[in-house]
Amino acid sequence: MQSAALKLLPTDAAAENPAVEPALELEAFLRDVEARAYRIAVLELRDADEALDAVQEAMIRLVRRYAKRPSTEWRPLFYRILKNRIRDGQRRRAVRNRVMSFFGPRDADDADPVAEAAAPEADGPVETIARADAMQALGSALLELPSRQREAFMFRNFEGLDVAQTAAAMGCSEGSVKTHYSRAAKRLRERLGDHWP
C-alpha cells in the first residue's frame, strides 16, 4: 500500500504563508511517486533518458495545472499525464523508426533499461543474478502485453491505484480496467509459469 502520508506538519513558514503548505505537500507527493513512476516509464519506453523526460514532464504539468486540486486527486491525475507522455514517446519512436528504416538499417537491439539497473550490494552474486533475471523476465513479459493490459497491471499492481483511480489514469471505465487487468494477469501467468521467479 503506497504511502498516504502526504500531509506534513505545518512549519512556521507554512503558518505564516498558507501558500507554502500546499507546496510542501506537493513536494512530498512527488518525492513519494517519482521512483516508481520512473520505473514504470522505463518499462514502457525502454530508454532511461526518455523515461526521465516523461516523468519530469508529468511532474511539471501536474504542478502547473493541478497543484490546487485536492491531494487525493494528484495520484491518478499524475499517472494519466505520465501515460500520455509515454504514448508521446512511443509515437515519436515509431515515427523515428520509420524515418530511419527509410534511410538505413535500424539500430541494433535497444538498450535494456532493466539490465542497466544497478545490482544490489547486500546479496551474493547468485542472489543478485537471480533477482536481475526475475525483473528482466517480468519486464519482457510485460512488454509482450497489449498496452492497455500493461497499463492496467502496472497501475494496479505496481503503483497500487484502486479500480476507480486506474480508470481515471487510463481514461476508460472501471469495467474495462478489471478486464484489462485480469487478462494481463492471466497472460503473465502463462508467460512466466508457475515457477517464476
Residues that bind another protein (CB under 8 A): 1, 23, 26-27, 30-31, 34-36, 38-39, 48, 52, 55-56, 59-60, 62-65, 67, 70, 73, 76-77, 80-81, 84, 87-88, 91-92, 94-95, 98, 114, 117-120, 131, 134-135, 138, 153, 156-158, 160-162, 164, 167-168, 171, 185, 188-189, 192, 196-197
Please, which residue, 108 or 122, has the CB nearer to another protein? 122
CA atoms within 13 A on the CB side of 108: 1
Residue 97 CB, shortest distance to another protein, in Å, is 11
Yes or no: say if 83 and 170 are a contact pair by the CB < 8 Å rule: yes
Residue 107 CB, shortest distance to another protein, in Å, is 19
**What would the DSSP string read from start to end of 134-182?**
HHHHHHHHHHHS-HHHHHHHIIIIIS---HHHHHHHHTS-HHHHHHHHH
Residue 106 CB, shortest distance to another protein, in Å, is 17
Please, which residue, 96 or 108, has the CB nearer to another protein? 96
Distances (CA, A) of 114 to 25, 42, 90: 31, 8, 18
Find the helix or strand (DSSP H, E) in which 70 lies.
Answer: none
Please, which residue, 7 or 91, has the CB nearer to another protein? 91
